[in-house]
Amino acid sequence: MVLFDNMENQKVYKKGIRLSDAAENDNIIAAIVEDELKDLSFILSKDSKVKFISFDEEEGKKIYWHSTAHILAYAVKRLYPHAKLAIGPAINEGFYYDFGVEKPFTPEDIEKIEKEMKKIIKEDYLFKKEDLSKENAHKLFQKLGEDYKVELLEELEGPVTIYRNDSFIDLCRGPHLPETGRVKYFKLLSSSGAYWKGDESNEMLQRIYGISFESQKELEEYLERMEEAKRRDHRLLGTELSLWMMDDEIGPGLVVWLPRGMILRKIIEDFWWDEHRKRGYEFILSPHLARTNLWKQSGHLDYYNELIYPIMEKDNQGYLVKPMNCPFHIKVYKQKRRSYRELPMRLAELGTVYRYEKSGVLHGLLRVRGFTQDDAHLFCMVDQAKDELISTILLAKDIFTTFGFTDYKVELSVWDINEKERYMGDEEDWNNAEQSLIRALEETELSYQKRKGEAAFYGPKIDIKILDSLKREWQATTIQFDFNLPKRFDLKFMGQDGQYHNIILIHRAILGSLERFIGTLVEHYAGKFPMWLAPIQVKILPITSNVNEYAEKIKNELISSGIRTKSDYRNEKLSLKIREATMEKLPYMIIIGEKEIDTKTISVRSREKGNIGSMNLLDFQELVKNEINKKSN
């Protein structure tokens, strides 16, 4: 459950007022009443604090998109009465709905469904909410033949709610728009197969994705952005630029880094090491598997059993391929007794882990089964926690700025004090940790959205999502308190008073995983990496074989000066070589002909500026090195 902390512009309204009557303008979609989202048809049962929300706010977009999903479902039921309804949530951008149908939807079907949705919007049906007992809801959806809704009901407790639009009925907790006519501009984007509940052992459903907005301009801008996103798809560019490969015979979700991709990865790793070393981190390297008992003690075997690869039995001992790095770092800490003088201890690792992700969710480098975390664990005292958090946030900001990311979305996930039984640790632990996170965010001037009740059972956390050049969100940094592992492993330190005290453990990852971050970089730059990241910075293109010797001399001088250089000595037309080098998105090309030999110069073409003309080699080297030193600034 998400409760809302960002409650500016809220007012107190009197008991008995209908929210639609109190709404101050026609842009209002719904309202937050005492931390709960409500339809505008809701009547206050007591004097209450109310904040009205519009499409401009995140909650408003989710309601708008979820309501459009209901319109989509109604249109499908009108056109295909035997279709069975599954689920239809709002997602990060837009919505989808899953249907049980006999055959996949065709492009012609999607066009028909869009036309039917426009009719439903024009007919302007109310979204009517009804409360039902679970028993009555069960009878209703059985009568309607909605098997998936009946199955969902089995997982719910207590009374449930349904929404009606004319004759259409859906199981839903809402809230929704007041009426279907509030949806102005929409587009169905695609359809695909999706397993019921994401489980490959269940039947395949058909999923339709869509988007909706309040203005035609917003819709057009979104569709243009999506076309650009397709051109930037890291899966396509990764192949075109020869960065990595995947092969079903190797295994789905397992990445093989090709030579150019390995250069890119090594550049990122070296930068990561340097930035952490400057800030007092120590580095370890842990094995790829460990005895089963270690994962039992850490709790990973219980909590993440479905993600862990099968047990291996050797020498009468069970082993698991590691899904996390945490237990190894903890074992390093426990290697000997620790004193307050050794704290804070910052242990970092580029640790490769393996998790069984269902094939339906694998997605290029963004969702894989084997990946390398830029992992670290901070072992500290209570009074050191805030400074460690601040240092971690500043490290993240510095790293992202260097890579060309300057916009963030930050979420603070904390517990719901009204449901203490869901969490480990006492109230003092949670309050201290939450306040440390808040003060760190404030002192580093990061605005954030607090999400109450969204914390993991073992501690509160900060998530930093970076925004790329298309303003899309990418999960990156996580900074997580942990009250669980210190207790399971009895982590202590000797204080100044000669007594043992509990350690504070903070997990943190800045980039998240190298695989996902590199996928993000590819899409952010559309494959046109800045000079310092480009696997090949310069390509030399001789016009004829007569100048190959001079071209080789230029290449060797550039390589000796630290500039990553390749040459193309094929007996092909220069226009073809230039076209292919352009497709590789290389920062610079050097053209070598008889004229360049005579004048002891080079002819330079820039990815950004086109033909620059003749240059002295030393001037070109200085130009390139200046660009490298600027990083992404």
Q: Are residues 199 and 266 located together in one domain of the fold? A: no
Q: How confident is the model at residue 50 (pLDDT cuts 50, 70, 90)?
A: very high
Span 317-332, mean pLDDT? Answer: 94
* C-alpha count within 13 angstroms, C-beta hemisphere, residue 6: 13
Reported as a single tens digit per residue, the pLDDT across 557-575 is: 999 999 999 999 999 999 9
Domain C-terminal end among 38, 54, 70: 54
Q: Among 75, 70, 97, 63, which residue's Cα sits nearest to residue 214? A: 63
Boundary-marking domain end, from 229, 264, 296: 229
Out of 355, 386, 450, 451, the active site residue is 355
Quick check: is 238 in a domain?
A: no
How crowded is residue 151: how many other Cβ atoms within 10 Å of its Cβ?
13
Residue of 39, 109, 170, 375 marked active site: 375
Alpha-carbon separation of residue 551 from 339, 547, 557, 576, 593 (angstroms): 61, 6, 10, 18, 9
In a domain, 530, yes or no: no
pLDDT in tens, 377-396: 999 999 999 999 999 999 99
Any catalytic annotation for residue 173?
Answer: no
Q: Which position among 329, 507, 539, 555 bears the catalytic label? A: 507
Asked if residue 392 is part of any domain, the answer here is yes
| Residues 141, 11 share a domain | no
Domain membership of residue 251 (yes or no) is yes
- Judge whether 172 counts as a catalytic residue: no
Q: Quote the pLDDT of residue 419.
A: 86
Residues 469 and 612 in one domain: no
Catalytic-labelled residue, pool 61, 265, 377, 566? 377
140: domain CATH number is 3.30.980.10
Q: What is the CATH number of the domain that holds 411?
A: 3.30.930.10
Domains of the chain: total = 4
Q: Which of 558, 556, 566 has the alpha carbon at shortest distance from 536?
A: 566
In a domain, 210, yes or no: yes
Answer yes or no: is pLDDT of 5 > 70: no
Could you confirm whether 375 is annotated as catalytic?
Answer: yes
Q: What pLDDT sits at residue 4?
A: 45
Same domain, 420 and 272: yes
Whether 326 is catalytic is yes
Instruction: Report pLDDT for 8.
Output: 60
CA distance 244 to 262: 8
pLDDT of residue 1 exceeding 70: no
Domain for residue 397, yes or no?
yes
Q: pLDDT for 209-244, tens place per residue?
A: 999 999 999 999 999 999 999 999 999 999 999 999
Which residue type occupies 572?
Answer: E
Range of the domain at 558: 538-630
Taking the CA atoms of the chain, what radius of gyration do you get in angstroms?
29
Shared domain check, 355 and 502: yes
Do 250 and 386 lie in a common domain?
Answer: yes
State residue 256 phi and psi, 5-degree precision.
-110, 120
380 in active site: no
338 and 462 assigned to the same domain: yes
What distance in Å separates the CA atoms of residue 86 and residue 70, rounded to the nearest whole number? 11
461, 524, 555, 577: the catalytic one is 461
**Is the predicted pLDDT of residue 521 greater than 90, yes or no?**
yes
- Dump pLDDT digits (tens) for 140-186: 999 999 999 999 999 988 889 999 999 999 999 999 999 999 999 99
Mean pLDDT taken over the chain: 94
Determine, yes or no, domain membership for 313: no
The dihedral formed by the CA atoms of 604, 607, 610 and 612, expressed in degrees to the nearest 10: -30
Residues 406 and 472 in one domain: yes
Answer yes or no: do 219 and 91 share one domain. Answer: yes
Instruction: Examine residue 316 and state whether it is found in any structural domain, yes or no.
Output: no
Q: Are residues 94 and 128 in the same domain?
A: yes
DSSP helix/strand/coil, 57: coil
Which position among 373, 480, 537, 621 bears the catalytic label? Answer: 373
Q: Check 206, 326, 524, 564 and give the catalytic one.
A: 326
* Domain CATH for 605: 3.40.50.800
Residues 469 and 550 in one domain: no
pTM, two decimals, is 0.87
Active site residue 384: no
Residue 69 sits in the same domain as residue 194: yes
Give the separation between CA 31 and CA 20, rounded to whole angstroms: 9
Distance, CA of 112 to CA of 116 (rounded, Å): 6
Mean pLDDT of 352-360: 90
Domain C-terminal end among 229, 260, 275: 229
